[in-house]
């Protein structure tokens, strides 16, 4: 079951204080054109739509972005330098660090909270593509992404009161799923994993993306599993080495399919989610959106090398 790993976090812990915080390779990775993604507040919608495809491709080719964090997501801060904080993300497993995914985030996009006051018996997870965080008066304050998770203060008739880095706010009740923080999200089956991914059909690919403003291939597979109670590695290469190995003739909906260069014999470069009948849903590349395709007759048919199952 998916639940936060709070044991690693100190009493005075750090959490993300913008709708989405991008995790950069180093403090010099962000460009002037990326200001909508590096300020506080961010404007993710404007940033990801106004970058040209060439500028988006450079985020990958020039090794600028590593991952992303959602609002309220806890991190370990190991260093602050040049206005950036080096963070470890416990919720995103990685071979790069046993504690979680490492990278650099603008320090202004983080806030310190007291763990005792932050961790509540109930947690609210955004279930819609986006949901507006509201003030007590109903003023829309911040557009949050799918799977943003915040501590619950109270559940009302129409709204859920949540704790945020800037105090108590509200989310529409019909936009969130409230679950036990201790027990985590109830696990779903393979069909539920597929359904979670299908909610993002058409969403534009974004390198390093981990939000409903844009996913990359492994970000989509990570999110579809997180929505169903499973914590899996963040990167495709790590995802391909964990989970349950599945023979390529026994693939079922919800299984992850991995693709490698040199007709399946080289380095793994892509992951998709099987929807059954030789098809998959995936976030393909910059300039394209999340789609369902048949593998037959495509490069993916020759490059398929490994399948893994994380769902029960």
Q: Taking the model in full, what pTM does it have?
A: 0.97
Q: What SS3 string covers 132-158?
A: EEECCCCCEEEEEECCCEEEEEEECCC
Which candidate in 86, 200, 225, 270 is catalytic?
270
Residue at token pair 């660090």: 97
pLDDT tens-digit readout, 14-33: 999 999 999 999 999 999 99
User: How far is Cα 149 from Cα 73, in angstroms, rounded to an integer?
Assistant: 7
Mean pLDDT of 113-137: 97
| pLDDT value at 4 more than 70 | no
1: pLDDT strictly greater than 50 = no
Which residue of the set 86, 217, 225, 305 is catalytic? 217
pLDDT per position as a tens digit, 203-258:
999 999 999 999 999 999 999 999 999 999 999 999 999 999 999 999 999 999 99
Active site residue 217: yes
Backbone angles phi, psi at 6, to 5 degrees: -80, -10
Could you tell me the two tokens for 241? Answer: 């080495």
Mean pLDDT computed over every residue of the chain: 97
Q: Residue 177 catalytic? A: no
Choosing from 86, 200, 225, 282, which is the catalytic residue? 282
**Residue 270 known to be catalytic:** yes
């Amino acid at each position: 079951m998916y639940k936060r790993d709070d044991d690693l976090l100190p009493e005075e812990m750090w959490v993300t204080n913008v709708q989405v915080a991008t995790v950069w390779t180093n403090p010099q990775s962000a460009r002037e054109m990326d200001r909508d993604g590096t300020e506080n507040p961010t404007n993710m919608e404007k940033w990801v739509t106004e970058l040209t495809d060439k500028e988006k491709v450079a985020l990958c080719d020039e090794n600028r972005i590593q991952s992303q964090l959602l609002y309220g997501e806890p991190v370990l801060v190991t260093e602050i330098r040049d206005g950036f904080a080096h963070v470890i993300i416990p919720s995103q497993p990685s071979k790069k660090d046993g504690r979680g995914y490492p990278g650099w985030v603008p320090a202004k996009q983080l806030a310190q909270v007291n763990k005792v006051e932050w961790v509540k018996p109930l947690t609210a997870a955004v279930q819609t593509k986006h949901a507006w965080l509201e003030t007590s008066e109903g003023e829309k304050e911040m557009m949050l992404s799918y799977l943003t998770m915040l501590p619950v203060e109270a559940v009302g008739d129409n709204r859920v009161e949540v704790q945020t880095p800037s105090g108590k706010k509200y989310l529409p009740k019909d936009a969130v799923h409230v679950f036990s923080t201790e027990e985590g999200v109830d696990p779903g089956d393979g069909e539920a994993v597929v359904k979670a991914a299908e909610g993002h059909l058409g969403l534009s690919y974004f390198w390093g993306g981990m939000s409903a403003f844009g996913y990359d291939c492994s970000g989509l597979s990570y999110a579809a599993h997180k929505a169903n109670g499973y914590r899996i590695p963040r990167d495709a290469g790590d995802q391909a080495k964990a989970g349950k190995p599945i023979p390529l003739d026994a693939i079922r909906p919800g299984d992850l399919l991995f693709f490698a260069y040199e007709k399946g014999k080289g380095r793994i470069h892509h992951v998709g989610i099987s929807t059954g009948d030789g098809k998959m849903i995936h976030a393909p590349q910059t300039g394209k959106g999340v789609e369902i395709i048949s593998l037959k007759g495509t490069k993916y048919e020759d490059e398929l090398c490994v399948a893994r199952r994380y769902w029960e």
